[in-house]
Amino acid sequence: MASNFTCRTCLRALRTPRGLQAKSNSLAQPAPFIQRARPILACPKSTKASPSAAAQKVKTTPNVAPRPNAAKPPATTSTYVAPKPKESVAEVEAQPLEQEYQGDPETSAGSLIGTNQENYASYCATDFFFRECKRPAAYTIGEVKHTEERPKNEAGEDVGVPQEGADWYEILDLEPTFHAWAQITMLHVYLLITRLRHLPPSSFKIWEQHLTDHLFVTAEDNMVVYHGLNAASIRNKYLKDLFNQWRGLLAAYDEGIMRGDATLAEAVWRNIFKGADVDAVQIAMVTSWIRKEMSRLEGMTDDMLVLGKWKFGGLREEEARVLVESRWMKAPFEEAEEVEERVAEVKKA
């Protein structure tokens, strides 16, 4: 059943005349400026008046007429050079050392020490130093898929292939493993550090830091590229062990240099040969090589060292020196024979 009730609004509309209803409808429509309101993020137009065409023409027109035969300015060419692709560790290590660091021929080591350029120059110089240090023991391991296993020795270490010029493995009968590479390379770095100790303390700290940085950065790269240690936590553990070995190596070789060849040979036997049963001639060759290279580096000037005008000597040359019999080997026995002859003469008298 329909209701007869009418609401107030409808009742008011019915009672209002039609003329007033038209006016009210026109007032209810929004104003034009409200409909054309700009969005909030729109940038307001500049209120600054733009110059007229005549003014622009005055500005662009030069005051002096151009010469009829004026030379045109040369066309500018872009000097941008595309960066070279980053080389892998294997490609860098396979490069020959023909492009050696020669430094600036007009710059001496004395002019760099203690200056702001020393930090940058020492980084470049120590990069060449370290390339020379790792050359005798450079090795590589071919790319192995995740499903394949790398070749290993009886101790479970990954075995690689020596690169060209890495003759220490053949001479010392060592396998090209990460441990052998690290010990031989650290020995070469140690010899350079003993020479860098002749520099002022502030300069020595800079050069030593850059040289050791090259050592550990390359060691970490080898862990990733050659041995597949992609986890940073595992690499940090091995790097910590390597750092402890490095500190022990410094102390052991310093003690051997101070006390004598017997102590030095013992340090070589423990670090490089892992204390295994090896030929004593090989240990003597490394000990003799250390003495020879230290003497050669000590007699080198700072300019020759910094400018990279040197290389490490070969290890194979020490075999002939070691096998020469020393004249002091028979001296105790000859003295004993002379004493026995004198005693016999005294008894006869």
Q: Is 70 exceeded by the pLDDT of residue 322?
A: yes
Residue 174 · residue 286 · CB < 8 Å: no
CA distance 253 to 190: 8
What proportions of the chain, in percent to the nearest 5, are helix, strand and coil? 55, 0, 40
DSSP bridge pairs for 161: 140
CA distance 309 to 103: 9
Confidence tier at 240 by pLDDT (50, 70, 90): very high
Q: Residue 138's pLDDT is what?
A: 92
**DSSP letter string, 296-330:** HHHTS-HHHHHTT---PPPSTTHHHHHHSPPTTSS
Lowest mean pLDDT among 58-72, 194-208, 286-300, 303-317: 58-72
Over residues 232-236, the mean pLDDT reads: 92
Percent of the chain with pLDDT over 70: 66
Decide: pTM greater than 0.85.
Answer: no
pLDDT tens readout for residues 42-80: 444 444 444 554 444 444 444 545 555 545 555 545 444
For residue 201, the one-letter residue type is P
Question: Inter-axis angle of helices 232-259 and 178-196, to 10 degrees?
Answer: 50
Report domain extents, the chain. 89-314
CA distance 337 to 9: 144
